[in-house]
Structure 1
Amino acid sequence: MASKVLVVDDDKTILNMLYKALKSSGIEADLAISGEAALELISGKEYDLILLDINMRGIDGFTVIKKIRSQGLTVPIMVVSGRKDDGDTLYGLDIGADDYITKPFNPVTLVAKAKALIRRSRATDTAKTIISAGPFTYNTSTLRFYKNDVEIPLSSKENSMIKLFIDNVDHIFSKDMIYSVIWGETIIDENAIMVYVNRIRQKIEDDPSNPKYLITVRGLGYRFTV
């Protein structure tokens, strides 16, 4: 089955060039000329890779990455940007991009990198469908969460938070980090975070008033431990 790639750029010349390069290599491609259009396509289709520009009118590429990851989606993302600053590259990778290539680029090189990302992603998906930690398991394919083999129903935001925590056992997440990843915003609403943390504790803890899995680290944030 042919790979399916979403190309996101507000420059029609770049879109057409990438479309032709991918098609000539046997890769199917959908095109989106804005971050808004990309998010709409992603909500209804599955892709093997997203090629994403950063500087776009409306929703920029960094925000698109945050929104994709906040939904628990693990589709590989390659940033294709005119920004050459190392800080931008590191920031993009830090919030969830898998690779970063700067414009101008050689289409042959980009397609080769795209194919490599797709291969790695498929190998990882096959090997890591189930994440286990103590009594908990999380199925990254079905987005279902279990404790002692009993499924725990989760809302969309709860699911995204559980995925973040179980994927990073014993890692301390500040409220800023949680809000940035889950909500895709930089101005945090501490009450919203506390509400969802309490809801998750009600579902996973033996004694929610004395949590032993989702721990508050005073002055730092939260840690998921088993």
Structure 2
Amino acid sequence: MANRVLIVDDDPAIRKLLEKVMQSNDLSCTLAENGATALTMLKNHTFDIVLLDISLGDMEGFEIIQHMRAQGITTPVMVISGRNEDFDSLYGLSLGADDYITKPFRPVVVGAKVKAILRRNKQLEEEQKTVIERGEFTLDTTTMRFYKNGEEIILSYKESALFSMFLHHPNQIFTKDMIYEQIWGTDVAVDDNAIMVYINRLRGKIEDDSKKPTHIVTVRGIGYRFIP
């Protein structure tokens, strides 16, 4: 499902331009021409990001940010405003805006910034989950207990740290240096054999056949990848 964007601006030309930019990035748009309409939309619908002008005629965009944050709505907000004073940008960011762009803007830059904010927000939401599910594997982050098809997998401290890293980042390739930093710390010298030992131990506990692993696979010359 496409991410949903709420575009709030009293200028119909700007609304149309932003709508085209968002649609070109495969994002679904809802348009609001004033603050009152935006507040109604935010009350009745969920969005993944809000693109917000400050001067809206019936109210200032700052009021919308204040309302959202007071109501516990954590949806990212990108302010796109013709007001380019430092005070305005600093004030907007202090209220909880995630970015502040001044008009006129480059459409390609706005599109890239929106996608970057959405990626960061998705990653943050993923990290804050108490239960992470990856295929047949489950991690309860509050207890650091691991399960495969509902049956608990008993892991050592280092095995738990290693498997947690993989579960949080499925399909990502981890080099040996990256694993050093994540599991042992950057100031600790660990040889390749130590990593191989823990990878093999983990495979022995999660793979159907540790000699023919299908979940923790070796990327030759680079490192390892977890495939759910």
Same fold (TM over 0.5): yes
TM-score (norm 2): 0.56
RMSD of aligned residue pairs (Cα, Å): 0.9
C-alpha distance in structure 2 between counterparts of 1:73 and 1:121, whole Å = 13
Residue matched to 1:182: none
Residue matched to 2:94: 94
Residue matched to 1:211: none
Residue matched to 1:79: 79
1:99, distance to aligned residue in structure 2 (A): 0.5
C-alpha distance in structure 2 between counterparts of 1:129 and 1:44, whole Å = 24
Task: Give the AA of the match of 1:47.
Answer: F
Gaps of 5+ in 1: 131-226
Distance 1:59 1:129, change over 3 A: farther
Residue matched to 2:62: 62
Residue matched to 1:114: 114
C-alpha distance in structure 2 between counterparts of 1:54 and 1:118, whole Å = 21
Residue matched to 2:126: 126
What SS does the aligned partner of 2:21 have? Answer: helix
Q: What pairs with 1:137-176 in structure 2 (closer than 5 Å)?
A: none
Aligned structure 1 segments of 4 or more residues deviating by more than 3 angstroms: none
1:129, distance to aligned residue in structure 2 (A): 4.4
C-alpha distance in structure 2 between counterparts of 1:60 and 1:89, whole Å = 13
C-alpha distance in structure 1 between counterparts of 2:3 and 2:74, whole Å = 16
C-alpha distance in structure 2 between counterparts of 1:129 and 1:13, whole Å = 40
Residue matched to 1:19: 19
Distance 1:51 1:82, change over 3 A: same
Residue matched to 1:222: none
Between the two proteins, what is the percent identity of the paired residues?
45
Q: Comparing both chains, which one has the higher relative contact order based on Cα–Cα distances under 8 Å and sequence gaps of 6 or more?
A: 1
Residue matched to 2:214: none
What SS does the aligned partner of 1:114 have? Answer: helix
1:128, distance to aligned residue in structure 2 (A): 2.2
| Greater Rg over alpha carbons, structure | 2
C-alpha distance in structure 2 between counterparts of 1:60 and 1:109, whole Å = 24
Gaps of 5+ in 2: 131-228
Instruction: State yes or no: 1:28 paired with 2:28.
Output: yes
> How many residues are matched?
130
List per-residue Cα deviations over 1:148-174 (Å, max 9, x = no partner). Answer: xxxxxxxxxxxxxxxxxxxxxxxxxxx
C-alpha distance in structure 1 between counterparts of 2:17 and 2:111, whole Å = 11
C-alpha distance in structure 1 between counterparts of 2:115 and 2:10, whole Å = 23
C-alpha distance in structure 1 between counterparts of 2:111 and 2:85, whole Å = 23
1:42, distance to aligned residue in structure 2 (A): 0.7
C-alpha distance in structure 1 between counterparts of 2:129 and 2:34, whole Å = 31
